[in-house]
A = this chain, B = another copy of it.
Amino acid sequence: MRYHKIPDETVRRLPVYLRGLMVSVEQGHEYISSQRLADSVGVDAWQIRKDLSYFGDFGTPGVGYNIEKLARGIKKTLRLDAIRRAALVGVGDLGSALLAYPGFRTYGLDIVAAFDVDPAKIGVVTNGVKVEDAAKIDTLRQREISLAIMAVPWEAAQATADRLVAAGVKGILNFAPCKLVAPRRVKVITLDIAMELARLPYYMPRSEQAGDM
């Protein structure tokens, strides 16, 4: 019912809150105020309250949010309450790092298939996943894998995305530094690592600037 009603910016922050809540649970807390959550995740408290109000949790004044309940709510909203299977395309340096990355399962994601075009890589088992020929991307539909992570060179990115879409993939996390064209029904999130780094110099003190280069 609330599907697609939550602003993208809020959806972007919900996993951040979830991580903050998980840390808090590990520390033995049962309730958390928006201010303490704010301090732990680095988002303003008013923003947190506003974001959480989208799915109806306003917390209890003076007590705060029940962490367990709130985490469950966020997971449900983000649909992370089930483990979802994902495929990786491109098992180069970055792809291998992603296969080894422990963080995915925390967010309900499990990389169960990997593809590459390099014959030297096909058949090799990395982190429990056997690399398959990229020609077999078509099998994703019958295997009911509808999420994909793309770690291919940018020249190959659009063609790879087209194949994934044709194979019934509904969501793509793209690491190639280019914008992908995909049907509206397919959600593409592009993560350009250099763009993240590009934000850093802005925050550096003025005095440093003269010294550089």
Contacts and interface: CB of A to CB of B under 8 A. Distances in A.
Interface in A49-91: 77-80, 82-86
A110 B206 CA distance: 20
A202 B77 contact: yes
Given A107-B195, A198-B80, A212 B85 contact: yes
Contacts of A3: 206
B144 A80 contact: no
A171 to B, nearest CB: 4
Q: Which size bracket describes the interface of A in this complex?
A: 35 or more
Copies per complex of this chain: 2
A109 B170 contact: no
Given A80-B198, A93-B97, A40 B179 contact: yes
Contacts of A84: 201, 212-213
Contacts of A120: none
Contacts of A46: none
Contacts of A128: none
A99 B193 CA distance: 12
A15 B196 CA distance: 8
Contact of A108 (B16, B42, B107, B201): B201
B107 A11 contact: no
A201 B79 contact: yes
Interface string A113-154: 000000000000000000000000000000010110100000
Nearest to A151: B97
Contacts of A203: 4, 11, 170-171, 187
18 contacts: A3-B206, A4-B203, A11-B202, A79-B209, A80-B201, A84-B213, A93-B93, A94-B97, A94-B101, A104-B194, A104-B197, A108-B201, A109-B197, A109-B198, A147-B197, A173-B196, A187-B200, A191-B193
